[in-house]
Amino acid sequence: MPGFELFGAEERKEVNDVLETGILMRYGFDGPRKGIWKAQELEKAITETFGCQYAQLTSSGTAALTTAMVALGIGAGDEVIMPAFTFVASFEAVLSVGAIPVLVDVDDTLTLNPIAVKNAVTPKTKCVMPVHMCGSMADLDALAAICKEHNLILLEDACQSIGGTYKGKALGTIGHAGTFSFDFVKMITCAEGGVVMTNDKEVYTKSDGYTDHGHDHLGVDRGADLHPFIGYNYRISELHAAVGLAQIKKLSTFLELQKKNNKALRAYLEQVPEISFRRVPEGGEDSCSFLSWFLPTAEQTQSVVAEMKEQGILAGNFYWFANNWHYISKWDHLKNATTLSRISDEQEAALTKLKSTVFAESDAIMSRCISTAISLVWTEDQIHEKGTRMVAAINKVLGK
């Protein structure tokens, strides 16, 4: 799954280009940097690779989500519909702009259930934010139709789905804006980083300024830039961008290996009739960073997790239902509105309401789901051993 598995001379070369100039900041110092502009190069490579018109790099995927929301005009009191299965950064970004996260059920795609989304729309709804978890996508046609009907923004959190596509378009480029994360365990890593992608020039221009204290970046002297609005420091460094530049050049290789290894491991699990797999919406192509599979009951799934742990083969297998970072059932800090500084009364009320909100459909799905991370460097022998031992543990629990 993660690009860091295949670090090599390419990353060292790009980083050394920066180190030799000593200019680690992405803006300014035009003379000393000797023509080395890694962030600009990476942004151009992103637009060319994923087919969007504009790309603005940020310091993290969380910063990218925050920036995208601000650039799209999402702010105080606006409701953002999002899934109950995601990473905590998704709701952190919503809260950071003063908006209200409205969590709804997922379906067997492990992403937003369009019916749940439609039922959650209110006069305060501003945005629908699908989170394309574990490499695959939400039903974007259905969500786009809801957004069109209610004049809502479609913002794709594609941080976990680099390389996935929907009807020929790269995930993250289909909505009004989309984001990737380039943290250490993502398909392409910068160590830390993210990007806002859009086909809307105004959204890009606002993102460009917002990530650098509101600088308009229109002059040749950054120190003389005007500030048409207030911004923050969400800049990526040249060192981080350099790593990402090497990684994106290897993306096709990463995806080829990932899909091959995913298919090979799946062949073992397909030997167990009781196992089913996540649904990929029609027209979608999974990036295959995870192999997500279901057992018939929550009790069987929990027993399989316990058995794999007992046998020492649980590593790389994620039971999200009991995971502290990814599912609503474990987000007590969210439901208790536990923050270090005061949030709005409206936000606090919305969060505490989550304590009594039932996510029965999501629970029924997530309690039966295990996702296996796919390594880029597995050998055939390692896949055989992993698949054989996993199937044996599953069959033991199933009484076979």
Report the distance separating Cα 396 and Cα 308, nearest Å. Answer: 10
Return the structure tokens found at 220. Answer: 């040749």
Query: Active-site residue 186, yes or no?
Result: yes
Helix (H, G, I), strand (E, B) or coil at 164: coil
Report the distance separating Cα 98 and Cα 74, nearest Å. Answer: 8
Contact 198, 172 (CB under 8 A): no
Contact 271, 365 (CB under 8 A): no
State the CB neighbour count (10 A cutoff) for residue 42.
31
The one catalytic residue in 126, 186, 206, 386 is: 186
Give the residue among 112, 111, 39 at the shortest CA–CA distance from 292.
111
Contact 36, 181 (CB under 8 A): no
Give the residue among 112, 125, 62 at the shortest CA–CA distance from 91.
62
Report the distance separating Cα 46 and Cα 207, nearest Å. Answer: 16
Return the structure tokens found at 1. Answer: 């799954």
Helix (H, G, I), strand (E, B) or coil at 398: helix
Q: What's 327's DSSP letter? A: B
Give the residue among 99, 88, 58 at the shortest CA–CA distance from 206.
58
Helix (H, G, I), strand (E, B) or coil at 85: strand
Helix (H) or strand (E) holding 123: none
Return the structure tokens found at 377. Answer: 């460097």
Report the distance separating Cα 370 and Cα 32, nearest Å. Answer: 51
Report the distance separating Cα 399 and Cα 397, nearest Å. Answer: 5
Report the distance separating Cα 88 and Cα 101, nearest Å. Answer: 11
Give every strand in the sheet of 165-166, ordered side by side. Answer: 169-170, 165-166, 284-285
Instruction: Provide the annotated active-site residues.
Output: 186
